Amino acid sequence: MTDAPSERTRVKRLNKRAKYDAETVHAILDATPICNVGYVFKGSPYVTPTLQWREGDHVYWHGSSASRMLEACEEAQVCLTVSIIDGFVMARAAFNHSCNYRSLMAFGTAHKVDDPAEKETRLRNFTEKLWPGRWDTLRPATAQEMKATTVLSLKLDEVSAKVRNGPPGDDEEDYAVPVWAGVIPVQTQILAPVDDPRLLPGLTPPAHVTDFSFGT
């Protein structure tokens, strides 16, 4: 465990599970596109789920330019979180039940991507990260669509990750209790693609659809 980058990122509860290195942080962000962004809007706290993608030491997210979340986050302090459940940990006592998980919290000031060319590049990178080769097959984005879309970025300077894996940790005397214990693994399953009812005749899913996957 390396040192926490700031006091507010320091993991205090079960700090043996804390990870502060870039490799762990990047791997968690790359393993799922789903995140939650916490912010304050007109004096009230909100947390909004959205999609994120990482490029280098920045994380990005996007949405409608009319979005309350994006308006509130621009040039403001935010907290972005990611959580992945890898298994339910079944112990011999209710108190010792847990989850195997990978999670992180990133703090900092969110910045709007103002340059139109950079914004299009970021959106292209997001699309290509999920579905390599798709961007160039699509109808080009219009100027109005680009204007209606906001992209925000957050530098990964203040981040803490927390990871648990392995079997249950029961009290020593409880290992003699005749109750099943172990882990129920959890995975995200990608199913076969379903055609749009209005799909033009003769079109079949391309490889970036049939081979779609993300993270581990």
Given a cut of 80, whether residue 214 has pLDDT beyond it is: no
In CATH, the number for domain 7-187 is 2.30.110.10
Query: What separation in angstroms does the CA of 64 have from each of 19, 75, 109, 128?
Result: 33, 17, 19, 20
pLDDT 10s digits, 102-145? 999 999 999 999 999 999 999 999 999 999 999 999 999 999 99
Q: How far is it, in rounded angstroms, from Cα 130 to Cα 56? A: 16
* Residue 59: φ, ψ to 5°: -115, 140
User: Is the model more confident about 20 or about 156?
Assistant: 156
User: Once rounded to an integer, what is the mean pLDDT over residues 147-175?
Assistant: 95
pTM of the model: 0.91
Domain positions in the chain are 7-187
